[in-house]
Structure 1
Amino acid sequence: MDNYPLLNIFWTMLELFLWILWFFLLFKIITDIFRSQDLSGWGRAGWLILVILLPLIGVLVYVIVRGQSMSERDVQQARKSEAAFKAYVREAATDTPPGGAGAAGRSHADQLAKLAELKASGAITEAEYQRAKEKVLA
C-alpha cells in the first residue's frame, strides 16, 4: 500500500465517478434521441454518430443544443406515465367482480359522481337525479 498514496486513491475515485456519470449521461442522451418526436431519421442517425464516434464532444454538444427540450421531454414522459398509471388504477378499481355485471362493480362514489355530471349537463332532471341517487344508496 506504500506505493499508492492517499491522493492517488482519491484521484482514482474521482475518475471512476466521472466515468460512471458520463455513461449515465450517454445512455440518457441515446434514450432521448430515440424518444424525440421532432427529429427525423437522419437527424437521429446524425446525433447517434456524433455521440458514439466523438463521445465527449458529442455529449457536450447535445446537452448544449438540445438540453432544454430534453428536460421538457422528460416531464412529458413522466406525465404520460402518471396518466397511464392513474387510468390503470381507475380501471382496476372499477372492474366488475366475478359474477357481477354492469354498474355493480363501480363504487357508489363513482356512480354518484356520474349522476352529478349528468344533472349538471342537463341530461337528467332534479327528480331523476334524486331517484337514481336513492337507488344507488339503497
Structure 2
Amino acid sequence: MGNVYLAYDYPVLGAFWTVMWIFLWVLWLLVLFRVIADIFRDHALNGWAKAGWLFFVIILPFLGVLIYVMVRGKEMSKRELREAKRQQDAVDAYIRETAGGPGASSADELAKLADLKAKGTISEAEFQRAKEKILH
C-alpha cells in the first residue's frame, strides 16, 4: 500500500506558503488582464502599437507587464478614472431620468400620464388620482 498523507502531516507553514502563492497567482492574473484591457481601451495607440504591446505582454508576460506599467502606468490610471467617471455619469443620468428628477416639470408629468391613459395602460380613475398628486 502507498503512503497516505493526512491533513495533519502538512505543516502549517507549508499551508501558509501554498495560500500565499495562490493569492499571488490570482493577483498576477488580475494585473495581466487589466493591462490587456487597458491596451485595447487606449484610443491614443494605433493598431500596430496595440499589437506590439500585446505581443510583448503575451510572449514575455512578467517583463511586458512590468515595463507597460512603468511606461504607461500614469495614463493607465487616468483612463481608468475617466471610465469610472463616465460610468458614474451614465448611472446618475439614468437615475435622474427614471426618477423624474428636478428637471421634470408638472406639465411633462401630465403629458406622460395623458399618454399612458391614451394607450390604455392606466384607467380614468388612476389618471385622475395621479393628476391630483402632481397638481397638489
Letter in structure 2 aligned against 1:57: L
Instruction: Name the CA distance, whole Å, in 1 between partners of 2:32 and 2:87.
Output: 23
Task: Name the counterpart of 1:58.
Answer: 64
Instruction: Name the CA distance, whole Å, in 2 between partners of 1:60 and 1:50.
Output: 11
- The alignment's TM-score, normalised by the length of structure 2, stands at 0.67
Task: Name the counterpart of 1:76.
Answer: 82
Task: Name the counterpart of 1:86.
Answer: 92
Instruction: Name the CA distance, whole Å, in 2 between partners of 1:35 and 1:71.
Output: 12
Instruction: Name the CA distance, whole Å, in 2 between partners of 1:49 and 1:21.
Output: 21
Q: Percent identity between the aligned chains?
A: 46
Instruction: Name the CA distance, whole Å, in 2 between partners of 1:7 and 1:92.
Output: 55
Task: Name the counterpart of 2:53.
Answer: 47
Instruction: Name the CA distance, whole Å, in 2 between partners of 1:105 and 1:59.
Output: 57
Do the aligned partners of residues 5 and 89 (structure 1) sit closer, same or farther apart at CA in structure 2, a change above 3 Å counting?
A: same
The structure, 1 or 2, with the larger RCO (C-alpha pairs under 8 Å, 6+ apart) is 2
Task: Name the counterpart of 2:127.
Answer: none
Alignment: residue pair count: 104
Letter in structure 1 aligned against 2:74: Q
In structure 1, stretches of 5+ residues that fail to align are 96-100, 107-135
In structure 2, stretches of 5+ residues that fail to align are 1-5, 112-133
Instruction: Name the CA distance, whole Å, in 1 between partners of 2:98 and 2:32.
Output: 37
Q: Does 1:25 align with 2:25?
A: no
Instruction: Name the CA distance, whole Å, in 1 between partners of 2:110 and 2:11.
Output: 69
Deviation at 1:3, TM superposition (A): 5.0
Do the aligned partners of residues 105 and 88 (structure 1) sit closer, same or farther apart at CA in structure 2, a change above 3 Å counting?
A: farther
- The alignment's TM-score, normalised by the length of structure 1, stands at 0.66
Task: Name the counterpart of 1:103.
Answer: 108
Q: Does 1:37 align with 2:40?
A: no
Instruction: Name the CA distance, whole Å, in 1 between partners of 2:69 and 2:110.
Output: 49
Instruction: Name the CA distance, whole Å, in 2 between partners of 1:52 and 1:24.
Output: 14
Instruction: Name the CA distance, whole Å, in 1 between partners of 2:93 and 2:108.
Output: 18
Deviation at 1:47, TM superposition (A): 0.8
Letter in structure 2 aligned against 1:35: R
